[in-house]
Amino acid sequence: MFAARAHSRTLPISLAILAALAVVGLLPIDQGLRYIVVLSMSWGIAAVGLDLFSGYLGQANFGQFAFVGIGAYSITALRSEAHVGVVPALLLTMALAAVLAAIVGSAMVRLQHFGAALTTFFFAFVLFNVLGGNTLDPITHSENGLAVPPLSWGPLDLSATGPWLYWLAWAMLLAAVLVTSNYANSRAGRALRLLKRSEPVAGTLGVRVRWTKLSAFVFSAVVAAAAGLPLSLAIGYLAPETFHFSNSITLFAMLVVGGIGSVAGALIGALIFTALPQFMQSTGAAEALLFAAIFLVFVIALPDGIFGLLHRAWRRVPWSLPPRARGERPRPAPRTGEQTPPDGGDALVAEDVSVVFGGVRALDRVGFRVRSGTIHALVGPNGAGKTTFLNCASGLLRATDGRVVVAGQDVSRSPAHQIRARGVSRTFQNPSLVPDLTVLDNVMLGLYGSHRWSLARDLAGEWASRGRQRVVGGLAAAALEQAGVPAERWDVMASDLSLGEQKVVDIARAIAGGSRLLLLDEPTSGLGDGEMARIAGLLKRLRAEHRLSILVVAHNVGFVQDTADTVTVLDFGRVIAEGEPDRVIADPEVVTAYLGVAESAAEVGAR
Amino acid sequence: MGLVGAAAISGVAVGFVYGMLAFSIVLLFKASGIPNFAQGNIATFGTFIVYLLAARTGLPLAAAIALGFLGTAALGVVIYLGGILPRGDGGTLNLAIRTLAVYLLLFAVMNLFWGVGQPFAFPRFLPATSVAVAGVSVSLLSMVTVAMAIVLGAAFWLLYNRTATGLVLRGIADRPEVARLLGADTARLSGLAWLLAGLVAVVVGLLTVPTALLSSDMMDGFFLYAFTAALLGGMTSLPGAFVGGVVVGVVSNVVTVLRGQEISILAIFVLLIVVLLVRPDGLFGHEVVERL
């Protein structure tokens, strides 16, 4: 949804900014400036969390600051009313934010249109009213607000005037940056970018769409709630106005101006927005006007923010090195234990499948069998229902009637990620690679559902998931080799590939998970003869060497004759012919459907 | 009819105000695909223009209102030309964020230049009389509100169904690329939609100030309710916006009487989520099929 691309591996830049902040902390700066930097680091924590949800997942969250408010109020109330220690108070508060975010989020991730944007905005409005209202008065003290008790931790004075609050905020910002960077660069982060690209595609690759979106939302809320600790200590007094819902928009503005989808950009934005007013000595209203104007100019002219600007400038510098392949290149793993049903079995059986959209019968009692280890072509004029059938077979669409059986199991009611787990993978007519990930990363997404992972491991960083990463990288490399993608192209960004290459990588991603059945939607459309021959050769090799079953939607007659063992012809949602390619293509009914000969002749005659 | 009944009736009237604001949001969304988060502040801005002209320059109220319409229509066009049209191909979320920036910008302008001493009492332009209808007293304001909603609805129905411009506007809403290929000047028509939305916003503002004081944040709650109404109505249905508005108005008024304002805001929030979960395309919307 965002034009701005997300960046991988920006941790060094974030760490450089944190190092600069550490230097500032060591300088003998005056109390006022120290206070401002603590505030901006607190906002920075919330902005970093927001970046994961908005920059990497590409979803709007216009209510992030509400979670900062929940954090600040909850930590303070636990400390001052319930006399809980600061660490348990922080942990309890993060748990509370997780629960609230899970409740709001589980509804939000199902919403379409601008559901997420409006619900988050509305949530911040609700919170502002609750903080100033009577319902929670015993805890929030309504308009009177809450005084934040001073805090010391052992010998460390963490109150607003003490020297150590700066380092608490700094350490928490460091933690937020590390954990968020790990998330963004892990398997889970790649899945977020895939979701940003297309939710249906993510589903067919085994990503649990709603669960993954919800995890990202809860994560960003928990990070924001943690920001409530340094913020509350710095300001010393909580009032509803401090958590006015427009602050969430200001936070979003920081992220956009700093550079969305880069983690480091969130830091840049938070620092600029909080530090600039100090140098301008202006009033609140004039400052708000200036920031709104800056925000608008950035969204229009520089949607990828300051980080994006610097990134592009850096790439222009002649001495800047090309992006280096990270670490060791994975070695192709030997493929083992591919499950192929015994010869003569059916890889897929369609039994009287019907799909009705409103009054239109897109599929009308379609039935055919894909024998295992064969290439089966599905052809027909535009609108015949070919893609609709693939959508049914891959779980993106429920058949109104009938069954789709894969390797003996009915999958007509299964969600996409379960069908994928049964060894069915598909490609789409428009290659749906994630443009801001490399070829290898994209193919690794194909293994998303087939290996056990945990988000906790992803958050802990690369060292924790390195072993798994190596296994999955090896399988992805093997798939790329099988598909015949030369190794020097593996580290190229998907957005820099030609259409033909994209289609091949898309197929590599589909076979990476050890699939038994491939559903390919027009793998040759838009390709020249040479590239088409490359795809034909690849499919024949997959059939011969790996005994894969392939159902391919195609338009090109030559391609079908070259590759397919069997052809099924659809017209207006119905099967009108089936059999060997040469025979079917000569069938007069097929010729009529395809070329509309009889119809156009009649039309010409009528004129 | 007790207190709850009276609250429900006044909820219908205020629901038409939400409905009108929702109507202007839907109007823009249909013409340009943009959810305009600044629409509430555009209404406040227009109301401020009328107020400043009437209360501080001594202009007759009718003239001030006329100039307010003119100024807000111009504001709509300026926002479109300056904020939406340049590099407008960055995707809908990018455009939605621009309207948020406009929201902040208008808010800051109003606070900086006109906000000193707010909230203000708007000069009375409707007598505070009410009429008993079926045992419930209905204020003149409520009746004027409903009448205005009907007039607006009828005017836009005529525009959409009886004029060539309306036909092209509908075409843009359904298939923007096709409309462009057929030679529709989408930029001019989107500009027109922003102009019309500005006009509707002033009506909303003027119908709000008799019962609320004028301040720069006057429309914040209104706007969220109106956006909720628009989504309940399906985001693309003009009559749906009014139905959604009335639903929101009645629920919020009745809950306010029973449990107070705070719970009523929460109730609308829950209503929004529940309706969208049960009917993701709203009460009157239709499913948008994504081509893969």
Supply the CATH number for residue A217's domain: 1.10.3470
CA angle A151, A153, A36 (to 5 degrees): 55
- A153 and A76 assigned to the same domain: yes
- Domain count along chain B: 1
Closest residue, chain A, to B265 (C-alpha) = A126
In a domain, B190, yes or no: yes
How far apart are alpha carbons A250 and A415 in whole angstroms?
A: 39
Question: Looking at residue B248, which CATH number applies to its domain?
Answer: 1.10.3470
In a domain, B131, yes or no: no
pLDDT band, residue A434 (cuts 50/70/90): confident
pLDDT band, residue A336 (cuts 50/70/90): very low
How far apart are alpha carbons B236 and A21 in whole angstroms?
A: 49
Q: What are phi and psi of B72, to 5 degrees?
A: -75, -35
Task: Please indicate whether, in this complex, the C-beta atoms of A288 and B112 are within 8 angstroms of each other.
Answer: yes
- A357 and A303 assigned to the same domain: no
Q: What are phi and psi of A198, to 5 degrees?
A: -170, 125
Task: Please indicate whether, in this complex, the C-beta atoms of B224 and A135 are within 8 angstroms of each other.
Answer: no
- A139 and A249 assigned to the same domain: yes
Instruction: Identify the pLDDT of residue B125.
Output: 81
Provide the residue range defining the domain that includes A299. Answer: 33-315
Tokens of A173: 């910002």
Provide the residue range defining the domain that includes B180. Answer: 3-116+136-278
Task: Please indicate whether, in this complex, the C-beta atoms of B235 and A113 are within 8 angstroms of each other.
Answer: yes
Largest Cα span, chain B:
61
Classify strands A517-521 and A549-553 as parallel, antiparallel or unpaired.
Answer: parallel
- A350 and A486 assigned to the same domain: yes
Instruction: Identify the pLDDT of residue A337.
Output: 44
In a domain, A539, yes or no: yes
Q: Residue A599, exposed/middle/buried by CB under 10 A (0-12, 13-18, 19+)?
A: exposed
- Best A135, A201, A291, A300 member to test B by mutation, with max B CBs in 10 Å, is A300
In a domain, A16, yes or no: no
**Percent of chain A at pLDDT exceeding 70:** 90
Is the CA virtual torsion B157, B159, B163, B166 positive or negative? negative
- A553 and A430 assigned to the same domain: yes
In a domain, B206, yes or no: yes
Q: Which amino acid is at A488?
A: E
How far apart are alpha carbons A495 and A442 in whole angstroms?
A: 11
**pLDDT tens digit string along A204-262?**
888 888 899 999 999 999 999 999 999 999 999 999 988 988 899 999 999 999 999 89
- A286 and A354 assigned to the same domain: no
For residue A323, the distance in angstroms to the closest alpha carbon of chain B comes to 26
How far apart are alpha carbons B205 and B45 in whole angstroms?
A: 9
- Domain count along chain A: 2
Q: Which residues contact A576 (CB under 8 A, 6 or more apart)?
A: A569, A570, A589, A590, A593
| Average pLDDT for A443-453 | 75
- A231 and A363 assigned to the same domain: no
Question: Looking at residue A566, which CATH number applies to its domain?
Answer: 3.40.50.300
Q: Residue A418, exposed/middle/buried by CB under 10 A (0-12, 13-18, 19+)?
A: middle
In a domain, A415, yes or no: yes
In a domain, A212, yes or no: yes
For residue A54, the distance in angstroms to the closest alpha carbon of chain B comes to 10
What pTM value is reported for the model? Answer: 0.86
In a domain, A166, yes or no: yes
With beta carbons under 8 A apart, name residues in chain B contacting A107.
273-274, 276-277
Task: Please indicate whether, in this complex, the C-beta atoms of A111 and B224 are within 8 angstroms of each other.
Answer: no
* A129 vs A328, higher pLDDT: A129
What secondary structure letter does DSSP report for A488? G
| Cα-Cα end-to-end distance for chain A | 47
- A448 and A555 assigned to the same domain: yes
Instruction: Identify the pLDDT of residue B267.
Output: 95
Q: Which amino acid is at A204?
A: T
In a domain, A495, yes or no: yes
| pLDDT above 60: residue A432 | yes
Q: Which amino acid is at A479?
A: A
What secondary structure letter does DSSP report for A48? H
Instruction: Identify the pLDDT of residue A95.
Output: 97
* A83 vs A345, higher pLDDT: A83
* A441 vs A99, higher pLDDT: A99
Closest residue, chain B, to A246 (C-alpha) = B104
Closest residue, chain A, to B217 (C-alpha) = A246
- Best A289, A357, A389, A394 member to test B by mutation, with max B CBs in 10 Å, is A289
Q: Which of A315, A338, A361 is the last residue of a domain?
A: A315
Instruction: Identify the pLDDT of residue A331.
Output: 65
- Best B87, B97, B218 member to test A by mutation, with max A CBs in 10 Å, is B97
Tokens of A145: 């607000």
Nearest to B266 among A108, A126, A245 (CB): A126
| pLDDT above 60: residue A14 | yes
In a domain, B122, yes or no: no
Task: Please indicate whether, in this complex, the C-beta atoms of B102 and A391 are within 8 angstroms of each other.
Answer: no
Count other Cβ atoms within 10 Å, centred on residue A232. Answer: 27
Task: Please indicate whether, in this complex, the C-beta atoms of A289 and B112 are within 8 angstroms of each other.
Answer: yes
- A303 and A370 assigned to the same domain: no
* A595 vs A397, higher pLDDT: A397
Closest residue, chain B, to A430 (C-alpha) = B292
Q: Residue B33, exposed/middle/buried by CB under 10 A (0-12, 13-18, 19+)?
A: middle
pLDDT band, residue A82 (cuts 50/70/90): confident
In a domain, B8, yes or no: yes
In a domain, B121, yes or no: no
Q: Which of A315, A335, A361 is the last residue of a domain?
A: A315
Q: Are A443 and A431 in contact (CB under 8 A)?
A: no
**pLDDT tens digit string along A518-543?**
999 998 888 888 889 999 999 999 88
Instruction: Identify the pLDDT of residue A422.
Output: 84
- Low-confidence residues in chain B, pLDDT < 50: 290
In a domain, B126, yes or no: no
Q: Which amino acid is at A392?
A: C
For residue B105, the distance in angstroms to the closest alpha carbon of chain A comes to 5
| pLDDT above 50: residue A366 | yes
For residue B97, the distance in angstroms to the closest alpha carbon of chain A comes to 7
- A360 and A304 assigned to the same domain: no
In a domain, B129, yes or no: no
- A311 and A419 assigned to the same domain: no
Instruction: Identify the pLDDT of residue B22.
Output: 94
- A309 and A439 assigned to the same domain: no
With beta carbons under 8 A apart, name residues in chain B contacting A62.
37, 100
In a domain, A14, yes or no: no
Task: Please indicate whether, in this complex, the C-beta atoms of A3 and B94 are within 8 angstroms of each other.
Answer: yes
In a domain, A385, yes or no: yes
With beta carbons under 8 A apart, name residues in chain A contacting B259.
none
pLDDT band, residue A603 (cuts 50/70/90): very low
Task: Please indicate whether, in this complex, the C-beta atoms of A126 and B96 are within 8 angstroms of each other.
Answer: no
